[in-house]
Structure 1
Amino acid sequence: MKKMIKVVRNNKLLSIVVLIYLSLLLFLPVKAIDSSRNSLYYIKEMFQIMPIVFILTALIEAWMPKDMIINSFGEKSGVKGAVFSLILGSFSAGPIYAAFPICKMLLKKGASIANVVIILSAWAVIKVPMLANEAKFLGSKFMLIRWVLTIISILIMAYIITVIVKKTEIPMVGNLKQKEKNKINVKGEYCIHCGLCEKMLPQYFTTIGNRIEFTQQSLPDEVLENINSIIEKCPAKAIGYHHG
C-alpha cells in the first residue's frame, strides 16, 4: 500500500488522468470508449514521431556549439534572438509536443526562457504552411492582421513568463534530484572571471592559475539551491552539470 501511495504521489498527473478515465467508464462508458480510442491514436502517433525527434535533438546538441546557442537564443541575444526564435518556430514541422525536447535542449545550452516561449508559441500557432492555408480560405488581410496580433501577444507572454518562471524551476538533466549522478563542470573557454561564483560559494569555487575551479564534488542539500542560482546567474553560462 505504501509503495502504491508513493507511486501515485510521484505520478500525480498520470494518476489524475487514470482516475478521470475510470470515472468516465463508470458513469459515461460510451464517452470512455471514444476517449480511449483518441488517446490510443495520439500515443501511437507519439511513438512514431518522438524517436526521430530525440535523434534530431541529440544531433543538434552534439553539433551545435553552446556559444552559438547563447549568441542566437541567449539572454543577451535581444531582437535578433526573438527573430531567430520566431523563424525557428514558424518553419518547424510536426506536432507541438515534438518541440518540447528540442526546447529543453536549447535551455540547457544557454537559450533564454523568453526565446523558448517564442519558439513554442510560433510552433503552435503561426507555422508558415498554416498561414498559407489561412490566407487561402479566410483572405490575406485576415491572415496578416491575426499574424501581427499573435506575434504581439507572444512577445507579451514571453516577457511575463520570464518574470514569473526561472530556469532553476525547470527540470533539467542534472537537476537536484539527479545530483548523485552529476558533477559540476566549469568551462574555462567560456569563463570571463567575473568572480560571481567565488563570491557566492568560496568554499566550492576558487581561482587556480588563470581559471575558476569547482573544488568539491560532494553536494550537501543545503548548498544545492545556491549551486543552481550560480548556474542561472553566471553571465557566460560557463557553469553547469556534467552528466556521467
Structure 2
Amino acid sequence: MKIMAIIKKNKLIVFVAAAYGILLLASPDQALQSWRNSIYYLIEMLQVLPVIFLLTVVIEVLVPKEMITQGFGEKSGLKGNLLSLLLGSISAGPVYAAFPISKILLNKGASITNIVIILSSWAVIKIPMLANEVKFLGVKFMGIRWIMTVISIFVMGYLMALFVKTKDLPKPEMGSRENVLEIKQEYCIGCGICAKLLPEYYEIRDKKAVVKKMPQGKLQEAAIVETADKCPTKAIVLSMDE
C-alpha cells in the first residue's frame, strides 16, 4: 500500500522512469543519448533557477506594486505592451525561467496581455536569438519574421485576455479561513511601523513583527492593506478569499 501511495504521489517521476526503462530495452543507444540530454538540461536548470528565484525575491520586495501596475497593468495601454516586449526581448536564459517572474508580475498587478507578450517575446524574439538569425538567414528574413511575430504576439496577448482572467489562474491554498494575514519573516526588518499603526493586530517580538489576530470584515481589511502598503520591505501579506 505504501508503494502504491508513493507511486500516486509521484506519477510524473514514475512515468518518466518507466519511459526511460522501455526506451533502454528497445534502443539502448537512444536511451543513453536521451539520458545525456536530460542531465544537460538539469544542470542548466540548476544554474539558471537560483538566479531567477533571487530576481523574483528582489521584484517582490523592492519593486512597488504601483510601479508594476503603471508599467504593466490593465491601464498601461500601448506603453505597457512595448515595455513587455522590451523586457521579454532583452531577457536572458531559457523560457521556463520566465514563468516565476511572470507569476510575481501578475501578483503585483500586471495584465494577462502583457504577461503573454513577455513570455512570447522571451521565447521567440530575444536579441541574442535575432543576432544568430541574422548570421544564418540574413537581415531581411529576420526583419520580416520579427514584424510578423510581434504582430502575432500582440494579437495573441489580447485574445488571451478575452478568454483568461487573473481570477481564473491558480492561487496558493490558504486553508479554510477567509482572511490570512502573514508577515514574511525573511523580509521583516522590525521597523515597528505596523505595530504603531495597528497594535491590536501586530506586535514586535525578538526584533520581528508578528501577527496577533486575523482581520474580519471590510473595514479591518482596509486598515491591514494600509499597513501593508506602508511596510518598507513589503513583508505584510493579506490573502482574501473572494
Using the size of structure 1 for normalisation, the TM-score is 0.70
Q: 1:35 to 1:151 in 2, by over 3 A?
A: same
Q: In 2, are the aligned partners of 1:89 and 1:118 still within 8 Å (CA)? A: yes
Aligned to 1:156: 155
Q: What's the offset of the Cα at 1:49? A: 1.6
- Counterpart for residue 14 of structure 1: 13
Structure 2 CA distance for aligned equivalents of residues 95 and 53 of structure 1: 11
After superposition, where does 1:206-225 map in structure 2 within 5 Å? 206-207=218-219, 212=222
Residue 180 (structure 2) aligns with: 183
State the 1:240 CA deviation. 5.2
Partner of 1:241: helix, strand, or coil? Answer: strand
Paired residue type of 1:179: G
Q: CA deviation at 1:44?
A: 1.0
**Separation in structure 2 between the aligned mates of residue 10 and residue 68 of structure 1, nearest angstrom:** 40
* Aligned residues of 1:205 and 1:213 also touching (Cα < 8 A): no
8 Å CA contact 1:74–1:110 kept in 2: the answer is: yes
Partners of 2:12 and 2:159 in 1: how far apart?
A: 25
Where does structure 2 lack aligned partners over 5 or more consecutive residues? 183-215, 225-236
Residue pairs, 1:1-244, within 5 angstroms? 1=1, 3-172=2-171, 175-176=172-173, 178-179=174-175, 183=180, 205-207=217-219, 212=222, 241=239
Give the Cα separation in 2 of the matches to 1:87 and 1:76.
18
SS in 2 for 1:110: coil
Distance 1:240 1:81, change over 3 A: farther
1:148 deviates by 0.7
- Partner of 1:229 in structure 2? none
Q: 1:85 to 1:6 in 2, by over 3 A?
A: farther
Alignment RMSD, CA only?
2.8
Displacement, 1:112? 1.3
Letter of the 1:183 partner, please give it: V
Identity of aligned residues (%): 51
Report Cα offsets for 1:96-144 as digits up to 9, x if no partner.
1221111111111111122111111111110112212322332222111
With 79-88 and 5-14 compared, the bigger mean Cα shift is at 5-14
Larger CA Rg, structure 1 vs 2: 2
Structure 2 letter corresponding to 1:206 = K
**Structure 1, 152-161 or 32-41: larger mean CA deviation:** 152-161
Counterpart of 1:112, as a letter, is S
Alignment check: 8 A CA contact 1:89 1:120 kept: yes
> C-alpha distance in 2, partners of 1:241/1:17?
36
Q: Aligned pair in 2 of structure 1 residues 141, 61: CA closer, same or farther (>3 Å)? A: same
